Chains A and B, each alone.
Chain A
């Protein structure tokens, strides 16, 4: 009996094997540079003091949290339109990583908020949007965990991912609108051209480091997932072979 969709993932595994050491090295190097800049080069904020350095983790984590959903949407298109077996795998493995980035963003956000706002949580527009994003990641993970057969879950997850991708900008817009309605604009302003190069450079380096970290983690996770599916297929074949020989 055929093991469909095996040839292509095998090539991917070989490629991942060759690519991973380089990726890990690049990630470590970029993190070293970025963290050094963030802690020793970037100046303290005149209002926030050293607390502002949390931003170098917080902001890239938020970017990656959103970037990851965008990437998953592309994988979802790959699953639905081209039925590519690897797209399905990437879609599944990216979700927990995206959830981790969103969680990191929320945690650093509340750690930052404690000295700034005097409380761990404020219903700030950005934080609230990330919270909704985090809940959607958890829902997606729950969807994957609801069924045992990955081929059945794959297309359902893809549809939900695309619906989520359409919804996320609307949610962002609504939350911003809701936020300005109920409280004055957020204090946590990062962006625009006013940002000083001494802050921008470490921020961009950290963003690059986070992106590399994402690539590394997702490549590892995809490799594991492919192997996991092979084990599953082998187990099914073993069960079938056993049922064939017994009377």
Chain B
């Protein structure tokens, strides 16, 4: 499996956010997207997720499921947690598990692996910012999708949780997955390739 972009550009409101951007990520590889605020990192991830149209160039996934769009084969982990405060931790996660075609059994395991199992009956409203982030991260584990799109994944995570994130990312890469992560700092993966988006 190989995710490749050839000279893609994205126009928002009559201006290019980025243009002539090319990269290729193979199975088991991670691409880090660096750049200052406003350089278009989030935009690039949303473009890959299919939430924004590309204005020029080509974006391809070779070896993926041809019946599905690129976005349908990707998990998007953005700034927003997609959690409902009035639902419990388990209810929040179970919903996404079922909606993404995963199995209910995966929920407990995922809660275990992000360290939220003891809190599973609490309403999400009571969670701290870091706990919400971890619960949101657990969403990537309850259903299998080959591409992970992570937007500032380490934000609001403490050191222990960051290490856990790195482990989860390694495991995903080990299964032959692809990760594209927008990040400011290092992420703990030594062999990742990186591209840099410039300021406009």
Contact = CB atoms under 8 A, between A and B. Distances in A.
A233 B200 contact: no
B19 to A, nearest CB: 7
A4 B55 contact: yes
B13 interface: yes
Nearest to A237: B15
Interface in B10-33: 11-16, 19
A2 B16 CA distance: 6
B16 A1 contact: yes
Contact of B15 (A1, A229, A244): A1
Contacts of B14: 3-5, 151, 229, 233, 236
B13 A151 contact: yes
Contact of A236 (B15, B19, B55): B15
A149 interface: yes
A5 B12 CA distance: 12
A5 B11 CA distance: 11
Interface in A228-247: 229, 233, 236-237, 240, 244
Interface in A1-36: 1-5
Nearest to A5: B14
A200 B72 CA distance: 61
Contacts of A149: 13
A95 B16 CA distance: 30
Contact of B19 (A2, A5, A152): A2
Sort chain B's interface into a size bin: 10 to 19
Contacts of A229: 14
B16 A240 contact: no
A152 B14 CA distance: 11
Interface string A171-187: 00000000000000000
Given A151-B13, A233-B14, A236-B15, A1 B200 contact: yes
A86 to B, nearest CB: 14
A151 B14 CA distance: 8
B97 to A, nearest CB: 33
A2 B19 CA distance: 10
Q: Which of B12, B15, B16, B55 has the most CB of A within 10 A?
A: B15
B11 A240 contact: no
Contacts of A1: 15-16, 200
Contacts of B15: 1-4, 233, 236-237
B197 to A, nearest CB: 14
Contacts of A240: 200
A236 B15 CA distance: 9
Given A1-B16, A4-B15, A149-B13, 7 more contacts: A1-B15, A1-B200, A2-B11, A4-B11, A4-B16, A151-B13, A236-B14
Top 10 A-B pairs ranked by shortest CB distance? A233-B14, A4-B11, A2-B16, A151-B13, A149-B13, A1-B15, A4-B14, A1-B16, A240-B200, A3-B14
Interface of B: 11-16, 19, 55, 199-200
20 contacts: A1-B15, A1-B16, A1-B200, A2-B11, A2-B16, A2-B19, A3-B14, A3-B15, A4-B14, A4-B16, A4-B55, A5-B14, A149-B13, A151-B14, A233-B14, A233-B15, A236-B13, A236-B14, A237-B15, A240-B200
